[in-house]
Structure 1
């Protein structure tokens, strides 16, 4: 009887030990299987999960606009008063709904090239008004004229044409005109060849961004989605030194196995430069653990505060010998037009930049740029890319989140759970049976 009991206890202990060992072995084996699967599925080639979502995103992506409506145009022109603005919005458009075009794999250097078509569809249900809403705004053509044509004689001619067309520094335009273009009466009178269409994002519809050429990850998964060339070049020809380099991905995804210590680099054609984000916090996005990376204020600092930014400084009006910060002069990539990019409400900008404008309320939570990255795959599941005039947001939909949980994070979590259960049960069984065996044996000896 005693032998049977002892044998049973020893058997239980052995089973527990085997389970514990199996659970322990499964951990590195499971990690290896996960890495192998991820490395296969994030490659940008036909048949992978990454390629399917890369060609045409299954996520609804919106570009939202908040427009500053000038409240006192006459006072500004007559008395040089501070500009009083009122923010109106959002006005929402669906974008990135078109599949990538001209997709071409190059096996020689393991890259894939493509064009990203541009298109915008107005979404009334996500907007505060219609495309016919009117705004009092700066006259784009009049404001740009003196910058594009600095010659004094030419400016005299242009001023006469401005008066003849009854144009002024401010104008009233509809949302559709302001964003997507209108025929300007002043430019229609200019005798030498010049485009008469003006708009903050003109032209946009029926155009394409690229050609992009990115690494497909077949030779090295650590390079997947990283841009090799943009429009056939590795540099932009806008900036000096390393500021002109095209770095990182397009922010839609990053190489897998993202670490919190990483600095994620990405290129944005909207702001004509590469930029970076750093880890801020862990976020639960519809049941999916993600890392939130944010653009730090250091990225917009002056060279005095951040010497790395010296080559983004230009000697235009706002620079003040490169001591002002938070505003980027991108006129070189906008055909010489005086275009400046900042975060909304001049967040992270020096006080002198906005001192002549009333009605601004910079708020870090509302106006910063962030990316929520699923760290194992490197996919960007939610992001908000925010600029002064426009806001581009995208978030993973409920159906996409369900699919992602079941196909990726769900399976990974299940495997991890099995590993821990096997290890825990095995250890508990081994300890419990060994204690019982020792107790039983001590009684038998007595």
Structure 2
């Protein structure tokens, strides 16, 4: 009987030790995982983050939809509202060139240039680059906004230009020689062979919370376009990654050189991406809201005529940044004022199709899928001095095109992430559960056994 009692006591000790070991592994395992993630998230040679940072591991595409005017003659002769029909997508592969001039500094930052390039992808496009589109004449819209209307009228008449023009997709996107200005024009001219930056970002070596955060852009730590300290701030990363261990309650901030400002994205929901749970962050409707609804946007309102004294929502004037009279919005004026949709017909804003989002893996902070959607607009309006605009009735913010820059995690990378990170976490969690569960069962059974032996011993005595 004493031997049996000793066995039960020994079993109880073993069970208790197993439970204790399982419980100890919880904080120890979490610490190991955090240490590993922090090490691999730093931007330095040899880390997972660095390898993916140098050159995008998955294809990045820019899809373009151009707006074609269905009734150009009626607009000119009668001042009719333009009837628009989007045409596309026309898809190009971008961001395929690795970063250049990479230089590390002792203050734990690294600088680089981001080269630009675009390769047409016929299989992902609705037509060819030679498809023709009738749309707003970029040069005419430009002189309307930038020059006195007397001078603009003289230039327009001498060149025989009109409010609308018919060009190929390739010309409208990447450039053509305009007969009025005798200069190259195009929505994205110049692009191939150009660079964005230089950027200088924190490596995260001294503080992982700062990893990939932009320290300066174009050698400046603040912008100079908005004449306001708040709007000129460069906040967050470039959007490709964020610091590890995300908190759903904390917005993500990123800087976009395309719109010359920083924006924030808010947690929307958890999404499954190839078996990996990611956090979906979306631009809030307040991003391009009127200062009446979002006072923080007051300093982005620079053209009081276009925005009706800052009461119109949905557009951002980036002329100070780009040097051209261009307005940025979300596609189809999503979240914009109703009057934007009243002045052109054929737009159908859809939050699913036209919103910008980031799908970020919350442990590593890596962006595994994104869709950056923007619309490029210019303006024209009535003018007594510009003959071709004599019949125009209202100042119109005219959408030229909208784009979707997108990339998504591929199958091989998904397998690697699941194998290198989540399988280890799952194995550790399984070991913890087994130790705690088996230890608890052994402990309880052995304690019951000890009690039974004690009762029998007293009964025999």
1:45 aligns with 2:44: yes
1:192 aligned residue: none
- Where do residues 1-12 of structure 1 align in structure 2 (5 Å cutoff)? 2-12=1-11
The 8 Å contact of residues 304 and 310 in structure 2, kept in 1 or not, is answered as: no
* 1:172 counterpart (163, 166, 169): 166
Mapped partners of 1:90, 1:439: distance in 2 = 78
**Deviation for aligned residue 1:318:** 2.5
The 8 Å contact of residues 265 and 283 in structure 2, kept in 1 or not, is answered as: yes
Mapped partners of 1:384, 1:262: distance in 2 = 20
2:360 aligned residue: 373
1:442 aligns with 2:442: no
- Where do residues 177-196 of structure 1 align in structure 2 (5 Å cutoff)? 177-188=171-182, 196=183
Q: Quick one: structure 1 residues 89 and 442, their matched pair in 2 at CA, closer, same or farther if it must change by over 3 Å? A: farther
The 8 Å contact of residues 260 and 279 in structure 1, kept in 2 or not, is answered as: yes
**Deviation for aligned residue 1:326:** 1.2
Mapped partners of 2:11, 2:128: distance in 1 = 73
2:16 aligned residue: 17
Aligned with 1:44: secondary structure? coil
Mapped partners of 1:344, 1:94: distance in 2 = 20
1:424 aligned residue: 437
2:212 aligned residue: 225
**Deviation for aligned residue 1:9:** 2.8
Cα RMSD between the aligned structures?
1.4
TM-score normalised by length of structure 2: 0.91
**Deviation for aligned residue 1:142:** 0.7
Q: Quick one: structure 1 residues 117 and 79, their matched pair in 2 at CA, closer, same or farther if it must change by over 3 Å? A: same
Count of residues in correspondence between the two structures = 432
Q: Quick one: structure 1 residues 135 and 436, their matched pair in 2 at CA, closer, same or farther if it must change by over 3 Å? A: farther
Mapped partners of 2:134, 2:288: distance in 1 = 29
Mapped partners of 1:367, 1:235: distance in 2 = 29
The 8 Å contact of residues 60 and 396 in structure 1, kept in 2 or not, is answered as: no
User: What 5-or-longer segments of structure 1 have no aligned partner?
Assistant: 189-195
1:385 aligns with 2:384: no
The 8 Å contact of residues 115 and 212 in structure 1, kept in 2 or not, is answered as: yes
**Deviation for aligned residue 1:407:** 1.5
Mapped partners of 2:92, 2:430: distance in 1 = 42
1:321 aligned residue: 309
* 2:119 counterpart (118, 121, 128): 121
1:306 aligned residue: 294
Mapped partners of 2:204, 2:426: distance in 1 = 25
**Deviation for aligned residue 1:290:** 1.0
Deviations 1:194-242 (A, max 9, x none): xx00111111101110000001111111111000000110112111231
Deviations 1:352-397 (A, max 9, x none): 1221111111111111111111111111011111112111111111
Mapped partners of 2:249, 2:39: distance in 1 = 25
1:235 aligns with 2:222: yes
The 8 Å contact of residues 303 and 317 in structure 2, kept in 1 or not, is answered as: no
**Deviation for aligned residue 1:440:** 4.5
2:399 aligned residue: none
Aligned with 1:317: secondary structure? coil
**Deviation for aligned residue 1:274:** 0.3
* 2:343 counterpart (352, 356, 359): 356
1:142 aligns with 2:140: yes
Mapped partners of 1:125, 1:440: distance in 2 = 78
The 8 Å contact of residues 318 and 353 in structure 1, kept in 2 or not, is answered as: no
1:198 aligns with 2:196: no
The 8 Å contact of residues 317 and 328 in structure 2, kept in 1 or not, is answered as: yes
The 8 Å contact of residues 139 and 170 in structure 1, kept in 2 or not, is answered as: yes
Mapped partners of 1:331, 1:425: distance in 2 = 68
The 8 Å contact of residues 384 and 394 in structure 1, kept in 2 or not, is answered as: yes
* 2:253 counterpart (241, 244, 265): 265
**Deviation for aligned residue 1:25:** 0.5
The 8 Å contact of residues 100 and 112 in structure 2, kept in 1 or not, is answered as: yes
Aligned with 1:385: secondary structure? strand
Q: Quick one: structure 1 residues 437 and 204, their matched pair in 2 at CA, closer, same or farther if it must change by over 3 Å? A: same
Mapped partners of 2:146, 2:422: distance in 1 = 53
Deviations 1:271-320 (A, max 9, x none): 11100001111111111111111111122221111111111112343211
The 8 Å contact of residues 266 and 283 in structure 2, kept in 1 or not, is answered as: yes
